[in-house]
Amino acid sequence: MSSSENTQFDLECQSGIMRPTNPPMKKNESRATIKDVAREAGVSVASASRALHNPGRVSASMVEKVRLVADRLEYVPYRAAGYLVSKKFNAIGAIVPTIDNAIFAQALHALQNQLNLYGYTLLLASTHYDSKREVSETQTLIEHGVDAIVLVGEAHDEKVMRLLDGKHVPYINTWTYNPDSPAPCAGFDNRAAMIRLTNYLLDLGHRRLAVIAGITDKNDRAAERLEGVRDALAARGMALQKEQIEEMPYTIAAGRQALRKFVSAPTPPTAVICGNDILAFGAVYECIARKIAVPQTLSITGYDDFELSSHMSPALTTIRVPAIEMGVGAADYLISYLAGKPMPKHMAYEAELIVRGSTAPPLETR
């Protein structure tokens, strides 16, 4: 065992100011230490520590044996002791726009599972799509000693970058892919995916399109999706007019509100492209309320592929976002970077067009 490991174990086993305050113990009751776990499991102290804190460095059978003993002894590791020695907290931070979104939750679940395999803990923060809050959450995570941070999108307040660079905290952008960026990323091309979806509608014969976009201000993913619609139309000699666009927050009520405006226009659209599935749900529900047949009268598309999207009637045509792949990829990159191992800096995943029952050719072409 190295001198630093010895120091860590000594700190963990001693009492006093190095230990957090605990409720008074009963007479003859003692706290289990890493040495107790190692003795009961029949392994060295170093092996027991690795099994609990760096499971990727030992066999799966040893990890299971040590964890079973640790659970039985109700052993709780004192992570602060390890931090005092190694200056590593074994924690990764993640800052997401919202946790009120099943796709973000799916990516975070995959991220956490992958980090846990290597002994890292995930610390989570949410910005509510507020760039100033992203700055404060970045500051807070750094203050809590995270070893690296996962971000969403490519556009961040310059103060975020100054904090990360100034404190030498590695990070990776997700939900976006830019091979020319100096920053690492694990994501997909939002613009290209929306071009694919728009071309699908154009190939069906739709020419009167409307877009319910997310709020594009300080949201590069929403802006790229809207740009994808514009680019697909421009390639066919068409343009998206101001009255064909509604930027809305990602809520069902907002989707319904925007749909009401579009269907009340003198020349209503034959297809509505939504910036995510939640907006599309709202648009579909408003059509149901108004007895507008989907897709016979109006085609509607989403973006994300929520679980509900395949079960509603009609099932929603959408873009399937590679949430799990991004979560795993971001974890693998940061773990490799922290370990000094080579890893691709820019990781691209496919955002797949999923065609379902909410789209059909327009009436005039049938």
The arrangement of secondary structure in 190-320+353-365, i.e. its CATH architecture, is 3-Layer(aba) Sandwich (3.40)
pLDDT the model gives residue 49: 85
Say what the pTM is.
0.78
Residues 6+ apart with CB under 8 A from 250: 98, 101, 214, 275, 276, 278, 279
Using 50, 70 and 90 to split pLDDT, how confident is the model at 243?
very high
How far apart CA 279 and CA 208 sit, in angstroms, is: 19
The structure tokens listed for 248 are 């809305």
Q: Which stretch of 82-96, 228-242, 280-294 has the lowest confidence by average pLDDT?
A: 82-96
**How many C-beta atoms lie closer than 10 Å to residue 134's C-beta?**
25
pLDDT the model gives residue 77: 66
183-233 residue pLDDT tens: 999 999 999 999 999 999 999 999 999 999 999 999 999 999 999 999 999
Q: Which stretch of 25-34, 51-60, 129-138, 273-282 has the lowest confidence by average pLDDT?
A: 25-34
Please report, rounded to a whole number, the percentage of residues in the chain having pLDDT higher than 90: 77
pLDDT the model gives residue 23: 43
121-148 residue pLDDT tens: 999 999 999 999 999 999 999 999 999 9
How far apart CA 94 and CA 171 sit, in angstroms, is: 9
How far apart CA 88 and CA 80 sit, in angstroms, is: 9
pLDDT the model gives residue 82: 52
Instruction: Report the candidate in 234, 187, 206, 217 with the shortest Cα–Cα distance to residue 299.
Output: 206
Using 50, 70 and 90 to split pLDDT, how confident is the model at 16?
very low
| Mean of pLDDT values over 151-178 | 96
**Is the CB of residue 173 less than 8 Å from the CB of residue 151?**
yes
Using 50, 70 and 90 to split pLDDT, how confident is the model at 50?
confident
- Provide the b/e sequence for 235-252 (b: ≥16 CB within 10 Å): eeeeebeeebbbbbebeb
Say whether pLDDT at 18 is over 50: no
> In CATH terms, are 90-188+323-349 and 190-320+353-365 the same topology?
yes
Question: What residues does each domain of the chain span?
Answer: 3-84, 90-188+323-349, 190-320+353-365
How far apart CA 177 and CA 142 sit, in angstroms, is: 25
Please report, rounded to a whole number, the percentage of residues in the chain having pLDDT higher than 70: 88
pLDDT the model gives residue 78: 58
Task: Give strand pairing partners of 300.
Answer: 272
Is residue 358 exposed (0-12), middle (13-18) or buried (19+ Cβ within 10 Å)? buried
Angle of helix 277-290 versus helix 252-263 axis, rounded to 10: 50
How far apart CA 272 and CA 208 sit, in angstroms, is: 9
* CATH number at 90-188+323-349: 3.40.50.2300
Instruction: Write out the E strands in the chain.
Output: 91-96, 121-126, 148-152, 171-174, 185-187, 209-213, 245-247, 271-274, 299-301, 318-320, 346-348, 352-354
To the nearest whole number, what is the mean pLDDT of the chain?
89
Say whether pLDDT at 113 is over 70: yes
| Mean of pLDDT values over 318-330 | 98
| Mean of pLDDT values over 336-343 | 94
pLDDT the model gives residue 89: 73
- SS3 assignment, position 95: strand
The structure tokens listed for 200 are 């699908």
Number of residues that make up the chain: 366
